[in-house]
């Protein structure tokens, strides 16, 4: 007795849904995250291959036409898999945020493309609810596509300016409302059979709005923006899955959409800001808003002196930032840490929720260098230990360790949770120069009495520190 193709398809979608959810659960811990990604990837593979079984469930007369579509789909699948595999293998850890933004945009664009096909089908019979869902998915998917591409260009340095203008919110709001009006016309007046030029105008409006919404957002907010567009893509995929009556797309979209939404809210909370404030404010335009003079001065220190101090410390806490990724110093950092651990020093890593350019960027960076998971702590778990630390080391971080967030009510970052590195007995800040953070304000930590600045490229500094500690052991 042979199984009907539809039964196999439905069973495959059920298995894929289970693998998606189970994979996401495993991603909640750094220890199991890698296997969780593999499990979710297998689920996507199962769902994709099951889709090709529709060929065997259609009438013989329709198969020649469908076979052309399947050939195109298989070709696109092969090209996409080959390109992503090649790019994924060669991408640098510093370029990981750009890749995530780009691939996320492709997901939103795919959902928008599905909606476009549905809206341009002349033989389709559109009912109200599926048509409304199609329009919403098209809108969200298009915004995610163009917005993610701008985020990618900003992260990759192809767009190095933050574009703002007077009356910008009015312009954005006008374009958004006009796009909604065109969408309403397609649904309620054209009943899904609008002129292709009107459909094109709808998608153009959504794409333009995504660009205009993202262009003013500064680099400091990119982790939240990437997470937000990830949620948008998930929602768009879920909506279009409903339209196609595809359970795998619906479940995958809901999982991604809900996880992305929660992560976006958590990231915004970690910056003590609302999502609306991230998108619509001019945060990071200038540091002139900060009032009052900072007392003290920046005191330079030699890398070897800092290393010797850490070698004879009891407890050292390291706070990494994006500068560590830029210098690609994670491997040398861990080599130095192992020397400290071998000497009996208690070493821990403190990770701020928005350190780096995307959620979890620093965790990925340290894991790539082989740092054990039990040495890495989140802000809420490590903050109480800084006052017990002999030395705190800041590598390439800025706003996430600025005490002004706790003490200076006139500062743009006031209220933002920070790592309490200033409470350590001694603080060393490894930094290329005296530049400000993304918020545009001076960092009070750099001027504190217990802080010394170790200037230079992080990798070169770590090499000097390694040599200094080894020299204490007689050159071994």
The residues annotated as belonging to the active site are 399
C-alpha triplet 209, 207, 438: angle, nearest 5°? 55
135 forms beta bridges with none
Measure the CA–CA gap between 153 and 147, rounded to whole angstroms.
Answer: 10
Tokens encoding 70:
């399947």
Closest by CA to 418, choosing from 324, 356, 355, 375, is 355
How many CA atoms lie less than 13 Å away from 385 in the CB half-sphere? Answer: 19
> Residue 449 gets which letter from DSSP?
T
- Indicate left, alpha or beta for 350 from its phi (over 0: left) and psi (-120 to 50: alpha): beta
Tokens encoding 376:
């890495």
DSSP string, 60-76: GGGHHHHHHHHHHHHHH
DSSP string, 355-391: -SSSTTHHHHHHHHTT--GGGEEEHHHHGGGGGG-SE
Query: Reduced to 3 states, what is the DSSP secondary structure of residue 290?
Result: coil
How many CA atoms lie less than 13 Å away from 87 in the CB half-sphere? Answer: 13
- Pairs from 445-448 (Cβ < 8 Å, separation ≥ 24): 445/394, 445/401, 445/402, 445/403, 445/421, 446/298, 447/294, 447/295, 447/296, 447/297, 447/298, 448/296, 448/403, 448/422
Residues in the chain: 476
Q: CB burial class (10 A; 0-12, 13-18, 19+) of residue 284?
A: buried
300 forms beta bridges with 453
The H-or-E segment that residue 170 falls in is helix 168-188
7 φ/ψ angles, rounded to the nearest 5 degrees: -65, -45
Which positions ≥6 away from 153 have C-beta within 8 Å? 159
DSSP string, 182-247: HHHHHHHTSTT---HHHHHHHHHHHHHHHHHHHTT--GGGHHHHHHHHHHHHHHHHHHHHHHHT-H
What number of helices (H) and strands (E) belong to the chain? 17, 6
Q: What is the CA radius of gyration of the chain?
A: 26
């Amino acid at each position: 007795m042979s199984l009907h193709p539809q039964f196999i398809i439905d069973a495959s979608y059920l298995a894929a849904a289970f693998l998606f959810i189970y994979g996401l659960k495993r991603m909640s811990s750094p220890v199991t995250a890698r296997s969780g990604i593999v499990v979710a990837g297998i689920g996507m593979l199962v769902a994709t291959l099951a889709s090709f079984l529709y060929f065997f469930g259609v009438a013989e007369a329709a198969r020649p036409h469908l076979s052309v579509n399947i050939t195109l789909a298989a070709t696109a699948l092969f090209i996409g898999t080959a390109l992503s595999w090649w790019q994924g293998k060669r991408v640098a850890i510093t370029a990981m945020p750009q890749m995530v933004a780009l691939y996320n945009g492709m997901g939103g664009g795919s959902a928008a493309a599905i909606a476009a096909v549905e809206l341009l089908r002349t033989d389709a019979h559109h009912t109200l609810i599926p048509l409304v869902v199609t329009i919403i998915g098209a809108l969200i998917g298009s915004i995610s596509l163009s917005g993610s591409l701008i985020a990618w260009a900003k992260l990759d340095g192809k767009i190095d300016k933050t574009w703002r203008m007077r009356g910008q919110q009015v312009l954005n709001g006008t374009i958004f409302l006009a796009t909604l009006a065109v969408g309403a016309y397609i649904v309620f007046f054209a009943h899904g059979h609008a002129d292709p030029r009107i459909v094109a105008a709808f998608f153009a409006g959504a794409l333009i709005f995504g660009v205009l919404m993202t262009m003013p957002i500064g680099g400091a907010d990119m982790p939240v923006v990437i997470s937000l567009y990830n949620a948008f893509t998930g929602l768009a995929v879920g909506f279009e899955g409903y339209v196609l009556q595809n359970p795998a797309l619906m479940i995958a979209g809901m999982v991604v959409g809900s996880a992305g939404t929660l992560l976006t809210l958590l990231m915004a909370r970690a910056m003590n800001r609302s999502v609306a404030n991230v998108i619509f404010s001019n945060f990071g335009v200038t540091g002139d808003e900060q009032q009052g003079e900072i007392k003290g001065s920046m005191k330079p220190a030699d890398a070897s002196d800092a290393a010797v101090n850490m070698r004879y410390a009891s407890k050292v806490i390291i706070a990494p930032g994006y500068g560590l990724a830029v210098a690609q110093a994670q491997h040398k950092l861990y080599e130095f840490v192992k020397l400290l651990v071998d000497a009996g020093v208690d070493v821990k890593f403190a990770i701020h929720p928005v350190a780096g350019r995307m959620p979890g960027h620093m965790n990925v960076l340290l894991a790539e260098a082989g740092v054990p998971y039990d040495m890495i702590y989140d802000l809420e778990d490590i903050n109480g230990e800084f006052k017990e630390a002999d030395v705190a080391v800041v590598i390439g971080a800025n706003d996430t360790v600025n005490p002004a967030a706790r003490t200076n009510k006139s500062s743009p970052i006031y209220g933002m949770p920070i790592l309490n590195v200033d409470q350590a007995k001694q603080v060393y800040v490894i930094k290329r120069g005296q530049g400000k953070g993304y918020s545009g304000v001076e960092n009070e930590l750099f001027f504190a009495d217990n802080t010394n600045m170790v200037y230079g490229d992080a990798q070169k500094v770590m090499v000097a520190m390694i040599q200094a500690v080894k020299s204490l052991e007689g050159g071994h």
